[in-house]
Structure 1
Amino acid sequence: MMARPVPSAPGERKIMDRFDNIPETALDWHRAGKGAALATVVETWGSAPRRVGAQLAIGGDGRIEGSVSGGCVEGAVIVEALEALEEGQARLLEFGVSDEDAFAVGLACGGTIRVLVEPVGKVLPEEMLAELVAARAGRQALAYEVNTETGRRALRRDGHAERMRMDRSGFEPDGRTFVAIHNPPLRLIAVGAVHIAQALVPMARIAGYDPVIIDPRDAFASAARFPGEQIVTDWPDEAVAQLGLDARTALVLLTHDPKIDDPALEAALRADVFYIGALGSTRTQAKRVDRMQAAGFTADQIARIHGPIGLDIGAAGPAEIAVAILAQMTAVLRGKA
């Protein structure tokens, strides 16, 4: 049996609902004949409410989805977007957020933001937006480039490696070309529905990961232990083959049982996952290394395994171990390992 999403009342939760669907929403509204514009934060100064790359979809009927400022300037952006839709032209807006407005959305002080408004179809080609949406659905990383002076737009699958790794949208040094990074959602695959996973999974979700738990043992992989989570009860090698492993995936091995851990580990060593961590002592790790050497993996491949798993913070107990694991995942992802 493959992925068994555990339902949350009422009904089952869709995994992608946990992440922004702003480009998808704008495309749907445009194709439905309502008209749509995309507003994107392209630059910030001071204590801006949203980070660069944050988006708001505005429908021709005035409906909205997403946010560019947490509520500080949305009203003005909506008005500008509706006018831009009528004119069929992009707009580059600049707003100063007062200290009072910033405080209302939880910030200590105000700042300044620039927002690019692009009507779909008339400025942002429907075909380009559809290609972006398809890439997001297929977990393919893309960079959307727009020259704010010439209006040239392009999608790039290559280049911008540092921006991709850091999830950092922004202007290029020329000050004219804005690059919006569209990475697939981060994904955590936890092999072993153990007590550490019970602490790690909700922490990872808060940090922006889409968790999946793999464990063929029904006593461990139960809805009662992981309410609302996606659980896979196949053997790990079959599970990871169907889930897929990519550069936005972290794999953690938590069972202490080579029969369960090793098939997933071998698959990860052959793939481009950004993080591999394995629970166990230094002695356990040494035995794991011996098994991987016997399986034909190179020293460089085996060196990708973080074992014992997690940063050495003196963790005691499942929750603290989970903190150490998530901290190490973050360090590796952001190039700080």
Structure 2
Amino acid sequence: MKAKTLAALQDARTQRQALALATRLSDAAEALIYTDRAEGALAGDAAVVAAARRALGIGRSETVEVGGQRIFLNVYVPPPRLIIVGAVHIAQSLAPMASLLDFDVTVVDPRRAFATDSRFPGVKVMQDWADEAFEKMGLDVSTAVVTLTHDPKLDDPALEAALRSDVFYIGALGSRRTHAKRKDRLAEAGITDEQFARIHGPVGLNIGAKSPAEIAVSIMGQIVEVRARRIEELAGPKVVAA
């Protein structure tokens, strides 16, 4: 691997950028293909770029045939991430569940009495307002955001920021009545009906959950389901024609 390519991969990992290294097996010609640009000898081949972006979407390295060329697509994607807004009891169950499923978990809550390492061992805790935390972390297509506080001052800025990003999942705790009031508030902030429809609210699968742990199971199940469906939709055919 070229030094320039290795440096690009390391930088992408640091920045949580998805990146595919496309290599033509016949002569080792390469291209670095991001979601918004492509660089290298194969960057001008639209079919190669499309195949690489499909592979990025499903998060899977593979060898494809494009216009008679065999191309190996080595995919580097950031690990799935779950940002939990609200260091509440449900979050104490949800965080370890997500970690067991290899999600990179961050709990965000400006209330210092709740957002402590002792209450959330093994996960990152940020004592910030959610929109400020999101600006520090950045939001991407590998990220899920769940708000659990029931407090509009905490939840609404988080939801507004998430809705203006390309995160793959947004969930918000609350009853249908609470969700309707939430819609009115976010509409005043400029969120459209189409954007608001991305929110899973009331959050979680309808499994009759009552306890904090059961609600956490329903939320995590829904996140896994949404992510799996997204990957399935993006997968498409493996062989790409020129």
**TM-score when scaled to structure 2?**
0.82
1:191-270 superposed matches below 5 A: 191-270=85-164
CA contact 2:88–2:114 (8 Å) conserved in 1: yes
Instruction: Rate the CA distance shift 1:207–1:162 in 2: closer, same or farther, 3 A.
Output: farther
Structure 2: give runs of 5+ residues left out of the alignment.
Answer: 36-49, 234-242
CA contact 1:278–1:307 (8 Å) conserved in 2: yes
Q: Does 1:131 align with 2:8?
A: yes
CA deviation string 1:130-165 (max 9, x = no partner): 111111111111011122332222211143333223
Q: Distance in 1 between matches of 2:13 and 2:118?
A: 32
- Which residue does 1:305 correspond to in 2? 199
- Which residue does 2:23 correspond to in 1? 146
Shift in Å at residue 191 of structure 1?
A: 0.4
1:8-87 superposed matches below 5 A: none
Equivalent AA in structure 2 for residue 257 of structure 1: D
1:250-329 superposed matches below 5 A: 250-329=144-223
Aligned residues with identical type, % of pairs: 52
CA deviation string 1:162-209 (max 9, x = no partner): 322321211114582111111112211100001111111111112221
- Which residue does 1:61 correspond to in 2? none
CA contact 2:93–2:212 (8 Å) conserved in 1: yes
Q: Distance in 2 between matches of 1:139 and 1:223?
A: 24
Greater helix share, structure number = 2
CA deviation string 1:214-261 (max 9, x = no partner): 111122112221123211112222222222212221110001111111
Paired residues in the alignment total 214
Q: Does 1:162 align with 2:39?
A: no
Equivalent AA in structure 2 for residue 168 of structure 1: R
Q: Distance in 2 between matches of 1:162 and 1:332?
A: 18
CA deviation string 1:1-35 (max 9, x = no partner): xxxxxxxxxxxxxxxxxxxxxxxxxxxxxxxxxxx
Provide the secondary structure at the position in 2 that maps to 1:165.
helix
Q: Distance in 2 between matches of 1:178 and 1:232?
A: 39
Q: Distance in 1 between matches of 2:138 and 2:210?
A: 33
CA contact 1:254–1:278 (8 Å) conserved in 2: yes
Q: Distance in 2 between matches of 1:326 and 1:141?
A: 23
Shift in Å at residue 274 of structure 1?
A: 1.3
Q: Distance in 1 between matches of 2:26 and 2:206?
A: 49
Instruction: Rate the CA distance shift 1:298–1:314 in 2: closer, same or farther, 3 A.
Output: same
Q: Distance in 1 between matches of 2:103 and 2:53?
A: 20
CA contact 2:33–2:53 (8 Å) conserved in 1: no
Provide the secondary structure at the position in 1 that maps to 2:229.
coil
Q: Distance in 2 between matches of 1:177 and 1:132?
A: 18
CA contact 1:166–1:334 (8 Å) conserved in 2: no
Equivalent AA in structure 1 for residue 54 of structure 2: E
Structure 1: give runs of 5+ residues left out of the alignment.
Answer: 1-123
Q: Distance in 2 between matches of 1:168 and 1:311?
A: 27
RMSD: 1.8
Equivalent AA in structure 2 for residue 235 of structure 1: W
Provide the secondary structure at the position in 2 that maps to 1:220.
coil
Shift in Å at residue 288 of structure 1?
A: 0.8
**TM-score when scaled to structure 1?**
0.60
CA deviation string 1:31-88 (max 9, x = no partner): xxxxxxxxxxxxxxxxxxxxxxxxxxxxxxxxxxxxxxxxxxxxxxxxxxxxxxxxxx
Q: Which has more radius of gyration?
A: 1
Q: Distance in 2 between matches of 1:200 and 1:155?
A: 36
Shift in Å at residue 285 of structure 1?
A: 0.9
CA contact 2:19–2:77 (8 Å) conserved in 1: yes
Shift in Å at residue 272 of structure 1?
A: 1.5
Equivalent AA in structure 1 for residue 18 of structure 2: A
CA contact 2:20–2:53 (8 Å) conserved in 1: no
Equivalent AA in structure 2 for residue 199 of structure 1: S
